[in-house]
Amino acid sequence: MIALINTVCIGSTGKIITGLQDYLLDRGDDAVVCYGRGPKPHRGKGYKFCTSLDVYVHYLIEWLTGQMNSGSKIATRRLIRFLKKNDVNEIFIENLHGHYLNDKLLFNYLIDNNIKVVYIMADELAFLGNCTYRNECQLNDITECKGCKRLKWWQRLFFGEASHRHFLMKKKVYEKLNAIYVAPEYVVKQAEKSPLLKGKRLVVVDEAINVNTYHPRNTSELRNKMGIGSDKVVIVCVAPLSDPRKGVKYFIETAKSLKDNDQYVFVHVGYNSDDKANLPNNYIPIGYVTNQEELSYYYSLGDLFVFPSQADTMPNACLEALACGTPLLCFDVSGMPYIGDQTVMTLVPLNDVASMSRVIENTKSKKQEQIDTCRDYALKRYDNRKYFEKLTEIMENL
């Protein structure tokens, strides 16, 4: 049996891990997703090893101590029993963080049983001590993750070396773990500089999406439903308001800066708040859209897709927008410049609302040629069938 480990079966990483499971099942492999929270995989082949109580206790331990992945010992032992019982000898790992797993226990089991691992690095956690992204830290300053500035005051007072201990644990297990680490080019370049993964087996693999689900749609009906005239230029963002890292506040600020220009309409999918008092009149907030077919219409609706993330590797939302024929506007930070070239993407300095506004003011209603350019780029680079083929080939060659 092949196991695929991820926090959840939904969202960007969830779509990758369940898509990989579908690919493995279709080719005749016995593949199960082992996850901590949320609904089961749509094809039902999943093992949820974490309870709600496990998650809450893990979160409390992490909040008190600042030590990531130090809780969930009972849940992780439950997972290990499942892996042992089902004779799992190949594992794809996606996210290890998310208040559901004790990575030290898991790593030691994988080492003791010489289990083959393909570690899909969706963020930077694999080569950092306690963070999913480096934030203000520079890699040449991260030698052992000592004196972490991101810890709360009580964490620094009582558990000041939490990041350092996690760093040392990883350093020890990585020496013995039978693993290959895969990620987009940006992440691999960072990992090569890290003391944790320098010299380890690293492979550049772009993340990918289902290009059959995400494709250009006729949005005339959606425009009418939303009251958006055919003469308007639509600027779309798909990101949760509740996650500061996604930078949605800069999307709102940009909309405010153009509120007197009635040519532009801003549509935000993922506005998970009841507070709409301070939104400008040109801003249409929409809650979460879980139906991926429906979501593709919102991607297609945009004449420009804005993703103002503060730190990301290769966000699925950008790939999905391209597959739906919509060009991108992003901040020039972390992995964003690696997503596309100048034919499909514009970059502006981090948090520069004025520059974002200028790009939008030069944006016209997209033509079929531009739609085709974005779509072709996504097909050539981000087709998830090719992605899954490469992942399984890497596993087979371990």
Specify whether 188 is located in the same domain as 263. no
Q: Are 229 and 296 in contact (CB under 8 A)?
A: no
Q: Does residue 214 lie in a domain region?
A: no
Predicted local confidence at residue 52, as pLDDT = 95
How many other CB atoms are found less than 10 A from the CB of residue 36?
25
Q: Does residue 105 lie in a domain region?
A: yes
Query: Digits of tens for pLDDT over the chain (398 positions)?
Result: 999 999 999 988 999 999 999 999 999 999 999 999 999 998 889 999 999 999 999 999 999 998 889 899 999 999 999 999 999 999 999 999 999 999 999 999 999 999 999 999 999 999 988 888 876 676 655 678 888 878 888 888 888 888 889 999 999 999 999 999 999 999 999 899 888 998 899 999 999 999 999 999 999 999 999 999 999 999 999 999 999 999 999 999 999 999 999 999 999 999 988 888 899 999 999 999 999 999 999 999 999 999 999 999 999 999 999 999 999 999 999 999 999 999 999 999 999 999 999 999 999 999 999 999 999 999 999 999 999 999 999 999 98
Predicted local confidence at residue 118, as pLDDT = 98
Q: Does residue 215 lie in a domain region?
A: no
DSSP codes of every residue in 136-193? T--GGG-SS--S-TTS-HHHHHHHTTHHHHHHHHHHHHHTT--EEEEE-HHHHHHHHH
Specify whether 336 is located in the same domain as 299. yes
Model confidence pTM above 0.75: yes
Q: Does residue 376 lie in a domain region?
A: yes
State whether residue 6 is helix, strand or coil: strand
Specify whether 236 is located in the same domain as 149. no
**Residues whose CB falls within 8 Å of the CB of residue 333, separated by 6 or more in sequence, listed in order:** 309, 310, 311, 350
Q: Does residue 307 lie in a domain region?
A: yes
> How many Å apart are CA 207 and CA 20, to the nearest integer?
11
Specify whether 172 is located in the same domain as 64. yes
Specify whether 64 is located in the same domain as 105. yes
Q: Are 17 and 6 in contact (CB under 8 A)?
A: yes
Domain membership of residue 370 as a residue range:
220-381
Predicted local confidence at residue 198, as pLDDT = 86
- Structure-block tokens of residue 54: 């496990």
Specify whether 37 is located in the same domain as 173. yes
Candidates 171, 174, 207, 166; CA nearest to 188 is 207
**Bridge partners, residue 117, by sequence:** 91, 179
Q: Does residue 160 lie in a domain region?
A: yes
Q: Residue 253: which CATH number?
A: 3.40.50.2000
**Residues whose CB falls within 8 Å of the CB of residue 249, separated by 6 or more in sequence, listed in order:** none
> What CA–CA distances, in Å, run from 18 to 44, 296, 385?
10, 19, 13
User: How many folded domains does the chain comprise?
Assistant: 2
